[in-house]
Chain A
Amino acid sequence: MRPVVVAGVGMIPFERRDEDSLVDMLAMAGWNAMEDAQLGDRSIDAVYVGNMASGLFNHQESVASALVDRLGLMPAAAERIENGPASGGSAVKNGFLGVASGFYDIVLVVGGEKMREVIGPKATDVVACMTHPQAEYIYGVTLPALAGMFTRLYMEKYGVTHEHLAMVAIKNQENGLLNPYAHIQMKITMEGILTHPQAHINSPIVADPLRLYDCCPVSDGAAAILITTEEIAQKLKRPIVTIAGVGQATDTHTLQERSDPTDLRAVRISSQQAFKMAGLKPKDIHVAELHDAFTILEIAESEHVGFFSKGKGAKALADGETRIDGKLPINPSGGLKARGHPVGATGVAQIVELVWQLRGEAGERQVKDASNGFSLNFGGFGNNVLAFVLRREA
């Protein structure tokens, strides 16, 4: 396989974007990535679009074909990649394979979703279409419901508390304040969301024990990366950040079939694959973007990735190790919790953030001396997961 370089990155702010269509958003993010790469007159061979449900959210399909036309990139190949909330990560992986295999030289990967076109309950229902139709969905299972049950088990087994969950929310919303692309720009406090006698009115239960501030917002947004060969990247005027490791693993469709539902097997395996390919270990990572669609996931994933031993993630969080100025900053972008989670965009946005961090272009949220980054994009409820290791080359 050839080394693969992220030569350009771009995003648009995640928020509610009534005035933009899905293809508008994809095009803006894609344009920003192409501009960042300073490609000159080189042409793009292929475009991969990570998108989960444009048909259900926006009544539009074939968005990759629409995007190449909007950007004037014909006759580039174009495909939409769907893998639930890991659609973005899967699109990145497919783009990576295209370049690594030698089949393409320059690939644009864009992830995007326009979820606010429908009302909140409908958005929750669309995302719940990922669950097993007969074993889960028919009983009213949603992703917050699965996460709620997972959280309860995790609390019982590993002593994670409501305070720990709130710490994730508070940290990531603080980080979001430093990220102009983040949907949620609001500092919250432990008193306001948890300890005040009336905090339950500010943060009502969504799926016990998860409360409103334990859940990511429903967002519109898009993010893009332009990837190419090392040879071409060296001719461009941008710092070289390589995709050094890629992993992907799956698990049972239904949560109930897992012998230990608190074991995120696909997270563990995909992370191991990515680290092995990169020739690095979890301790070598300087900054990570994890998939905190629910606060519990940041804690659980930080353990399954191998950053902390099982049951120790909450303590590391409480000790401040995962803050921007901590030993291993997690979600300096604000994560899904604050940056937002337009599902198809998230896996790409994580890579964008890592590239900014590894280039030293992350502004006020810059992690000091970061040269190795890690991202985890969690599809389904952990049944299809992608992991990436990125490395800043000297």
Chain B
Amino acid sequence: MDMDIEIYLRPPELETPPYPPKVITLSTGKKMIVRQVDREAVPILLQAVKPTLEIERDYYDIVGARVYAELLGWYRYRVRDEFCLIGQIDGLLVGIVNTRSYSPQVDISLHTLAIERGLRIGAHLFAAKMEYSIEYLGREEVLITAESPIGFRRWMIEYELEMRDGQHELGGATPYALTRELYFRNKDRLVAGERPVPPELMEFAEREIIVASEDDILEKILGAKRREIR
């Protein structure tokens, strides 16, 4: 690699405090660890994202393709100031969220990809990245958009987001803002999690990010298994 040119191609990075991991008790009683991952985790995350590229339902294909590009771009130093949080249940990767910082005041929410469905995993992870932006990075607001109607209901309606002028960097859609005030107004209702994570749970989560097989990922998202009895 020619670093003489590479240093011009790589965007600069802000120094940021880490996201403290937390544990969320799901409706199943299972514990989901939410934690930040660094660049080195990207290759394994991409294995989980790849099967979603062909799922039209709920715009998983668009979300998957964009997440793939965002994570790959971050891994290879072509995206500026991105962070990524993941959800794991017994080590298994169940969701990925990412955000990019635009300035010390504003973050841009990128994507929420839930691999396990029906447990509010996407909602919990979305809340976690808002928590990181507002409470730990000190942003005044986060700009948000949604590709799917489910996302629109979960973010724009549940958080009562404020519409903004201009374009979101994801496709130029109308941006909505989660302000510091809106975040704290909704926090008790929507942001779950306990800290610190018990050491044995944390150790297990960090030991390995387990990725379900492609078939399992399709089944989790599409509920395809029961088609067999038709």
Contact = CB atoms under 8 A, between A and B. Distances in A.
A240 B230 CA distance: 24
A202 interface: yes
Contact of B28 (A16, A188, A204): A188
B29 A192 contact: yes
B156 to A, nearest CB: 13
B189 A204 contact: yes
A203 B27 contact: yes
Tier of interface size on chain B: 20 to 34
Contacts of B124: 201
A213 B27 contact: yes
Interface string B81-123: 0000000000000000000000000000000000000111000
A204 B27 CA distance: 11
B25 interface: yes
Nearest to A14: B226
Given A186-B28, A198-B25, A28 B189 contact: no
Contacts of A198: 24-25, 192-194
Nearest to B194: A198
Contacts of B24: 198
A180 interface: yes
B42 interface: no
B11 interface: no
Contact of B27 (A18, A181, A193): A193
Contacts of B37: none
Nearest to B123: A201
A270 B186 CA distance: 46
Contacts of A186: 27-28, 118-119
A15 B57 contact: no
B119 A18 contact: no
Contacts of B223: 15-16, 185
B226 A13 contact: yes
B25 A191 contact: yes
Nearest to B223: A15
Interface string B170-210: 00000000000000000001111110000000000000000
Nearest to A189: B29
Given A15-B223, A189-B29, A192-B25, A201 B190 contact: yes
Interface string B22-40: 0011111110000000000
B7 interface: no
B150 to A, nearest CB: 9
B1 interface: no
B229 interface: yes
A101 to B, nearest CB: 35
A13 B226 CA distance: 7
A12 interface: yes
B225 to A, nearest CB: 9
A326 to B, nearest CB: 22
B149 interface: yes
B83 to A, nearest CB: 23
Nearest to B29: A189
B28 A18 contact: no
Contacts of A184: 118
A66 B191 CA distance: 48
Interface in B17-73: 24-30, 57
B224 to A, nearest CB: 10
Contacts of A189: 27-29
A180 B189 CA distance: 34
A197 to B, nearest CB: 9
Contacts of A193: 27
Contacts of B189: 200-201, 204
A247 to B, nearest CB: 32
A26 B230 CA distance: 13
A241 B52 CA distance: 46
7 contacts: A18-B57, A119-B153, A180-B226, A186-B119, A188-B29, A198-B193, A201-B191
